[in-house]
Structure 1
Amino acid sequence: MAGIRQEVARSVVPLVALTVVTALVAKAIGGWVASIGPMVIVLGTGMLWGNVVRARRQRDEEEGDVEC
């Protein structure tokens, strides 16, 4: 009976350790995503606005309405 308990304990310990490590990694990644998310939105908006401005300038240039 003691042998079975030892066997169960030996198989449960790595499982618990893996669960704890997985939880810590998931929390770390979640925190990273939560902190980096707004920066990605701001950078994406800036890139989109830059493309809009560039397209507007190019269109004005093609029409000959460039103000320098």
Structure 2
Amino acid sequence: MPLILTPNIPDPDGFYDELLAAHTGLSKDESDALNARLILTLANHIGDREVLRAALGAAKA
């Protein structure tokens, strides 16, 4: 499965609002921890090491 880099989330603005709301009231450290847990949860869901490796490369670029 190749990494999808084109918009692929239904209602991306709604998702962004939910993401921001999840961080409301959190300290910087709590927000960073939430992001780390979210990344690991989604990485586990994806499961494909090649896709995850490609995502790391895309995010780093």
- TM bucket, shorter chain: 0.3 to 0.5
Give TM-score scaled by structure 1 length: 0.32
Larger radius of gyration: 1
Under a length normalisation based on structure 2, what TM-score does the superposition of the two structures give?
Answer: 0.35
Which structure has more RCO (C-alpha within 8 Å, separation ≥ 6)? 2
* Structure (1 or 2) with the greater helix fraction: 1
